Amino acid sequence: MIAGLVLAGGESRRMGSDKALILIQGKPAFLYFAELLTPYCETVYVSCRTAQQLTLGDDPTIVGLFDRPAHAGRGPMSGILSYLSHSADNHSADNQTSENPSTVPPDGLLVLGCDYRNMTEEVLSILVAVGQSQNRICCYRNHLTQFIEPLVAYYPTETLKKLPAFAKENTSLRAFVQSNNPCILPTD
């Protein structure tokens, strides 16, 4: 079981308007990408700033998640750290109310930034399959820039647990990925 996280909380300063709201196939980008993740994830979270007005629709597997103030100002890492805090809070509450918690922490997190317009189910399925089989972060390398893409990645839960400590010293998600022996897939 894995969870999904669409990172839609960017301020879109260069773009001048909220890129999470750009229409892709008639839907706002954040919702389009959330629906793209649902075949792989039990729950898909849409991480956003509290100032954003995102309407999620009726699918109960797509859940809004506001970036927490304690994690603000860390770019994409803010969304992942907020997800980790939310997940820890919910798991702790479940353990306090029942001897057999109804939810089990996911095995991993499939992360997708909301500005990868050409993303396909095939690309995501490869990412998830390789990441789960290797039990390590799996992401793509941009063929033009040669940079790894930490916003299109599978993160095993055990590796994600290291992120809060790392974030105290460094806000680069790319640096976190590189420091954890990722499996890097090529793109065309």
pLDDT in tens, 119-173: 889 999 999 999 999 999 999 998 888 899 999 999 999 999 999 999 999 989 9
Neighbours of 19 (CB within 10 A): 19
pLDDT exceeding 90 applies to what percent of the chain?
47
CA dihedral 14→9→82→5, nearest 10 degrees, is: -110
Entry pTM: 0.87
- The alpha carbon dihedral of 97, 39, 36, 73 has a sign of positive
